[in-house]
Amino acid sequence: MDARSERGAGGEAAAAAWYAARGFQVEARNWRCRAGEIDLVVVHGALLVICEVKTRRGHAFGGGFEAVGWEKQRKLRQLAELFLADRAMTPHSVRFDVASVTSGARGWTVEVFEDAF
């Protein structure tokens, strides 16, 4: 695994820990199908959250949340439908979050934008 992949996996683990600390259960990490991949799916009661995780080394190129444009949003909505069909789930509500994770000398900083789109 190269440094970029390791950083991405570390950022996803940090985001999963952020949700777990708030009472969410991790339903899936890196769920894949032919159409693409969902980084993180978490559940809290009847709420299902699809989370796109963007990990950066710093802020030189902006926050990770800025990298989730309308095309990625459209793709995540499509993937969410496929995920729900695959798992035969019917949650009361679905929310789309973006986790902007930064790695630094002091560890991971996680900023979650709830209901981002």
Q: CATH number, domain at 38?
A: 3.40.1350.10
Give the pTM.
Answer: 0.90
What pLDDT, on a 0 to 100 scale, did the predictor assign at position 106? 84
- Residue 87 belongs to what domain range? 3-113
User: Alpha-carbon distance 99 to 87, whole Å?
Assistant: 23
pLDDT surpasses 70 at 59: no
* Residue 98 near residue 51, CB atoms below 8 Å: yes
Question: Can you tell me whether residue 64 is helix, strand or coil?
Answer: helix
Q: How far apart are the first and last CA of the chain?
A: 32
| Number of domains forming the structure of the chain | 1
Sign of CA dihedral 106, 107, 113, 117: positive
CA dihedral 13, 101, 2, 6 (to 10 degrees): -20
What would the pLDDT profile of 2-37 be if each residue is shown by its tens digit?
777 788 899 999 999 999 999 999 999 999 999 999
